[in-house]
Structure 1
Amino acid sequence: MIRHFRLSLAVFAAALAIEGLWLLADGSRPFLRSQETVDLDFPRGTSTQKIAATLESSGVIRSRITFLALFYLGGRQTLMAGEYSFEHPASTLDVLRKLERGEIAYKVLVIPEGFNRFDIADAVAAAGFSSREEFLRVSENHSWIADLDPHTQNLEGYLFPDTYHFPRKTGPEQIARAMVDRFRAVLSELKVPASPQPLRDVVTLASLVEEETAMPEERPRIAAVYRNRLQRGILLQCDPTVIYAALLENRFDGVIRQSNLNSASPYNTYVHRGLPPGPISNPGRASLLAALRPEPTDYLYFVASPQGGHTFSRTLSEHNQAVSLYRRSLKQ
């Protein structure tokens, strides 16, 4: 009797081992019925059985039975909700691990330094997160930055340029919030010293610097030029502010015209002294640092150089000579 029981137990154990080996072998075989990417969304609360059935019917796995057996026999606890992308043949075990780890599908959103909020809205729309209009509405929620800039009317200047990775169904509010949070993090890293100068002025100056040059070594020098002109009460005469004013009025066609230079817009620094009312773009770390720590110099002017970058001058006479040289180079 005991011998018979032991034999039966051995047979049962062998059967379990064979079944386990079969499950492991079946679960390890790559499978994806379609040659195209399969995108699936599993909302929070979706049952494991429902996930398995969806994976099978979508052609991601061969058998939901194998999937469920591997899930339960492996002592696994949970599968993560979210949107997943299955791009090439993977085994049932691979799919199971992907869901356990929550390797959801992300979209990349690249925001270059110097993008204004209208540019960012275009980028967000192009990436398929929301419409341009939706993001622009969100970018007017100045309450998110009111503790740092109580006078701002929108988030211009505080949507930090960076490369972001968002789940595919991320909304415009989450995107804008992430950019503001990134700005705060960078500001903290820069260790901004206590100063009577409002942060708004720092960010506004940084946005002018960002628009004027892409050369890192020039940024502190350009910040110094504008600081020196501000201290002497000289018009900044910053072309990017004229362009921004025209954009706000929907009157910019790609060329700065005399009508733009004569505009009464408060952003027109050819007409109004001092900084414009607020940032004209969203500056990066280097431009923020330049605005905080301008180069110690007495330059008051700069113009594009035939060799690239800019030529800096201390007097109007020197500046006019540099302008003439640049204009001659354009005719050659």
Structure 2
Amino acid sequence: MWRSVASNALTMFIIVLVVVAGIIAWGRQEFRGPGPLADAVCVRVERGDSLSKVSARLAEQGVISDARIFRIGADYSGQAEALKFGSYLVQPGASMGEVLGAMTQGGASTCGREVNLRIGVVAAEVQLRELDPATENFVEVVAFDPAGEVPTEYTEVADAPDLRFRVTLAEGVTSWQVVNALSQASFMAGEVADVPPEGSLSPGSYEVDRGGDRAALLAEMTAKQAATLAELWEARAGDLPYETPEEALIMASIVEKETGVASERPQVASVFVNRLRQGMRLQTDPTVIYGVTKGEGSLGRGLRQSELRRETPYNTYVIDGLPPTPIANPGRESIMAALNPDTTDFLYFVADGTGGHAFATTLEDHNRNVEKWRAIEAAAGQVDEGGVQGE
């Protein structure tokens, strides 16, 4: 009898082991396998949320199939106490393990709302935007002048703990414009003692912390520009008509301001390089404009003849060679163009009405291009020629 009882007990024990093993295998598959989510969503972890609360919210949103398995998996993997608050983009079919990993590894928010101070060559604006999970593109909620009235759409979320902040510099902005815009950014702190040297800031997008130090951000921009210039200087073409990286940066800033067409930058650089090699004056309007504005905002009108004749260190119609400093902060592509210009015989260029320029090797051809551009200007009611003038 006892042998029979023992045999039955052993059988039951084996059955229990098999069932438990099956449950464990099923739970592991549920935790690691594709999840039930059909469309991408943003999920939030609030500061101080417990694992139980987060798992219940995920189950309600249809992100995970079973809150208990999610909690068990988090406990088993040692991540139950590692949740980081923020907003996270969860892709369709993401497994519980992938969801948990997103919420614990680094804690960086990957979706939700972001404030971006955009510093442009004409104006600056603060943009509040939110990620659309379906398209993974940011959608603008509201935009406003940082020096103007703050809209309620912004003030209502300005203190949200997971709100991210960014500062974006357009290529061709001046150092004064950057400092002026940063001083108006309410989400940053600290004083800026001096405007950084023109050309020394690297355009681009920078993530910042709420209350981040303005001077520290400028130092980061300066370091990035210095590294870019040093890298590209080492790979420069031979026989350039400038001897130092600083002179190349001046040329890059002129190229940056002369064309908004990226593919034209090496051609534009070739015109100015050819002029320097032949001892011709650069005759470029953006340098004259900088001499008038000192980089403190845009001119907002065409140049006057008196300004074109006035002798300033930046009037390349009356001075020889390069101006004494850059006239803006050039981007990487313009620095590259200045250091590796196209090989051409071009000495002139003028706008062609398409957003680009018509290039010429002779004054006669250039004058014909100018006449075409003047006809386009006349039809549009404009007055500014732009480009390199004839002699």
CA separation in 2, counterparts of 1:55 and 1:265? 68
CA contact (8 A) 2:315 2:323 kept: no
Distance 1:169 1:56, change over 3 A: farther
Identify the residue that residue 40 of structure 1 maps to in structure 2. Answer: 45
Residue type matched to 1:70 in 2? Answer: G
Separation of aligned partners in 2, 1:65 and 1:272: 77
Q: Which runs of 4+ in 1 moved over 6 A?
A: 75-78, 135-138, 140-143, 167-170, 262-265
Superposed, 1:19-98 pairs within 5 Å as 19-20=23-24, 23-24=27-28, 27=31, 30=36, 37-40=42-45, 50-57=50-57, 59=60, 65-73=68-76, 81=84, 83-86=86-89, 92-98=96-102
Partner SS, residue 50 of structure 2: helix
- Over 3 Å counting, the alpha-carbon distance change for 1:24 and 1:82 in structure 2 is same
8 Å Cα contact 1:117/1:159 also seen in 2? no
1:238 matched residue in structure 2: 284
Q: How far is the alpha carbon of 1:69 from its aligned partner?
A: 0.8
Over the aligned positions, Cα root-mean-square deviation in angstroms equals: 5.2
Decide whether aligned partners of structure 1 residues 135 and 326 sit closer, same or farther in structure 2, where only a CA change above 3 A counts.
Answer: same
Task: Specify the SS of the correspondent of 1:278.
Answer: coil
Deviations 1:248-290 (A, max 9, x none): 334632x3242765788755545655325124132333x3233
Q: Is the CA contact 1:53–1:64 (under 8 Å) kept in the aligned structure 2?
A: no
Pick aligned residue for 2:17 from 7, 13, 19: 13
Give matches, 1:202-241, under 5 Å. 202-214=248-260, 218-230=264-276, 234-241=280-287
Q: Which has the higher helix share?
A: 1
Task: Verify: 1:305 aligned to 2:348, yes or no.
Answer: no
Q: How many residues align?
A: 307
Match of 2:143 in 1: none
- Residue 277 in structure 1 maps to residue 333 in structure 2: no
Query: Residues 159 and 57 from structure 1, CA distance in 2 versus in 1: closer, same or farther, beyond 3 angstroms?
Result: same
Spell out, residue by residue over 1:1-21, the C-alpha distance to the aligned partner (whole angstroms, 9 max, x if none): 653552453244144235425
Task: Tell me the residue number matched to 2:375.
Answer: 328
1:156 aligns with 2:192: no
Kept after mapping to 1: 8 A contact 2:166/2:207:
no
Distance 1:262 1:39 in 2: 62
- Residue 248 of structure 1 aligns to a residue whose secondary structure is coil
* Aligned residues of 1:205 and 1:275 also touching (Cα < 8 A): no
| Higher normalized strand content (fraction of residues) | 2
Q: From the superposition, tell whether residues 121 and 303 of structure 1 become closer, same or farther in structure 2 (CA, over 3 Å).
A: closer
* 1:38–1:87 Cα contact (<8 Å) kept: yes
Kept in 2: contact 1:160–1:179 (CA 8 A): no
- Mean alpha-carbon deviation: is it higher for 302-311 or for 171-180? 171-180
C-alpha spacing 1:328/1:267, structure 2 compared with 1 (3 Å): same
CA distance in 2, matches of 1:40, 1:121: 36
Q: Distance in 1 between matches of 2:69 and 2:77?
A: 12
Which secondary structure does the structure 1 equivalent of 2:299 belong to? coil
Q: Which runs of 5+ in 2 are unaligned?
A: 130-163, 168-180, 380-391
Whether the 8 Å CA contact 1:117–1:281 is kept in 2: the answer is no
Distance 1:167 1:158, change over 3 A: closer
Name the counterpart of 1:256.
Answer: 302
Distance 2:262 2:166 in 1: 33
Aligned equivalents of 2:65, 2:24: Cα separation in 1: 17
Question: What is aligned with 1:129?
Answer: 165
CA contact (8 A) 1:83 1:167 kept: no
Unaligned residue ranges in structure 1 (runs of 5+): 144-151
